[in-house]
Amino acid sequence: MKKKPPMRIPSPPSSPPPPSPLFSPHDDVVSEPPMPPSLPTDLLINIFLRLPVKSLGKFKSVSKEWLQLITDPHFISAHRELSLSNPNIVLVKKTHQLNKCTRVDVSSLSFDGVSKNLDFSLYLHDYENNIEMLPSKWDLICFVSDSGFYACNPSTQVMGKLPEASCCTSGEVNAGMGYVKERGEYVLVHLFDRSLDLHVDYDIGCEVLRLRDGEDCAWEVVDANCPFVVRGWGVLVENVFYWMIWDEYNQPGDEAIVSFDLEKEEFGTVSPPEGCFDPNGAWSLVELGGRLCLVDSVTRPMTMDIWVLEDVENHKWVREYSIQMNGYTSDMLNFIVPLDYQDGKIVMDAKQESLDYYDVKKKHIKRMDHLIAGEWNWLRLYTESFFSLKNLIDIDA
C-alpha cells in the first residue's frame, strides 16, 4: 500500500508589514521618535541634587528641560550646599615623568569608602620635588611650583594656570588659600621675598588674588609688607589670614603669629596661649568650625592640645580639646593634621596613611586606614561643585 503524502496546510495570505513609526503613510518625511513621558520636575531636581557634577555635565545634552534645570543658578547653589554637608576625600600623588614633567594622580572617595567618585591624572611641566599642594577643603584644590600657581576643580577634572605671581628671590613659597562664602570667591595671598634684589636682610611683599566662578583674575600687590618670615601655609578665618612666625617662640613677649587683614590690607601679630612655648617650631595653625585653632603636640607627652582663639582683639585662647594620642608613635605626632570639624567629630589626616576621627563627646579616636590604599603625597577634603575655571590657561588632563 502506498503511503499517503503528508497533508500540507496552506499558509494564510501574507499581510503587508506595519508601517514604520518613523515614516508617515502620506509622505517620506522622517519624524522624531516620541520622547518618554517626563518625570515631575520636583522629582528630577531631587535626583539631580544627589548626582556628581561629571554626570550632570553629560545629562545637559539629554533635553532642553534637563539643560535648563541643571544650569539654573538656584539648582547650582542648592547642589553646592548639599555637597558641603557630604564632603569627599581626595587623594593626590605625584610621579616624575620624562622631560621635566610630573604626573599628578587624583582620586576621590566617599567617607564611607563605598564609592569612588573620580579617578584621573593631570600633568605639570615641572620637577616633582618642586610641586606642593595648598591646604583646602572646598571645591577647588591648588598646586604651586616654580612655574606658578594652578587651580583645579576635581569635579569637572579641569585645571588651569593662574596669572603669573611676583618673583620670590629666596626661592621659598609662602602662601595661603581660603574661601569667602559671602562673596563666593577664593582668595590667595602670596608672600614674596625681595631682599636679594634690594640687598637688605629681608623685604617681604604681599599680593592678593581673588578667584570667582568663570571670571578673570589678577594678582594685586598691596602697600603693606609682611614684618616677619613665616612658616607653614596661611589659614583664613573671618577675612584674616594667619601664619606661624619662623622664629622660635621660647620666652614671653616674643611674637608667634602674624596676621593679614584682607579688608584693611594690614599686617599684625597675635600672641599665643599664655604660658605655652614652642622652642622647636612645631606648632601649626588650622581652621576648625570657622575658628582659628593652634595645634600643640609637643608640650604634653602623647597629647594633642587644640587651642581656640576666642577673643581676637584681646588674644584670648581657650584649650578646647586635649586628645590622647597613645595609639600613635611619638615620631608620628607632628605629622597628624586636623582637617575639619563635622558633627561632633574632628577629622584628622594621619600622615596620608589614614583618615581618623576624634569623637569629641566620647573622647575616642577611630582609625579609617582601610579607606586609603597606596602611597599618597596629600590628603584633602573636597566638595562637588560646578565652579568654572574657563578663564584660566587650560592645562590638559
pLDDT of 344-355, one tens digit each? Answer: 999 999 876 778
Cell of 170: 629666596
Encode pLDDT of 169-203 as tens digits: 766 789 999 999 889 899 999 999 887 665 567 78
Q: Look at residue 219 and tell me whether its pLDDT is greater than 90.
A: yes
What are the cell numbers at 20?
514604520
Residue 22 reports pLDDT greater than 50: no
pTM: 0.84
CA 331 → CA 20, 248, 279, 326, 337, distances in Å?
75, 20, 17, 12, 14
**Can you give the pLDDT at residue 79?**
92
Rounded distance, CA 31 to CA 211, Å?
A: 47
Closest CA to 366 of 354, 356, 353: 356
Is residue 12 pLDDT above 90, yes or no? no
What number is the average pLDDT over the span 198-210? Answer: 83
**pLDDT for residue 374:** 64
Residues in the chain: 397
Q: How confident is the model at residue 18 (pLDDT cuts 50, 70, 90)?
A: very low
Which stretches within the chain are classed as H helix? 41-48, 53-59, 64-71, 73-84, 195-198
Q: What is the pLDDT of residue 270?
A: 94
pLDDT at residue 304 is higher than 60: yes
How much is the average pLDDT of 4-17? 45
Q: How large is the average pLDDT for residues 30-34? A: 46
pLDDT averaged over the chain?
Answer: 84
- Look at residue 397 and tell me whether its pLDDT is greater than 70: no
Query: What number is the average pLDDT over the span 226-252?
Result: 90
Grouping H, G, I as helix, E, B as strand and the rest as coil, residue 182 is coil
- For residue 25, pLDDT over 70 is answered with no
Coil, helix or strand at residue 217: coil
Name all contacts of 197-203 with Cβ < 8 Å and 24+ positions apart. 197/169, 202/229
Instruction: Compute the Cα dihedral for 153, 156, 162, 168 and give only its sign.
Output: positive
The closest of 365, 373, 375, 362 to 336, measured between CA atoms, is 365
Q: How confident is the model at residue 121 (pLDDT cuts 50, 70, 90)?
A: very high
Residues contacting 346, CB < 8 A, separation 6+: 288, 306, 321, 323, 338, 340, 357, 358, 360
Whether 186 contacts 211, CB under 8 Å: yes
Q: What is the CA radius of gyration of the chain?
A: 29
The whole-number pLDDT of residue 248 equals 78
Phi-psi region of 196 (alpha: psi -120 to 50; beta: other; left: phi over 0): alpha
Q: Which three cell numbers stand for residue 173?
A: 613659597
The answer to whether 355 and 89 are in contact (CB under 8 A) is yes
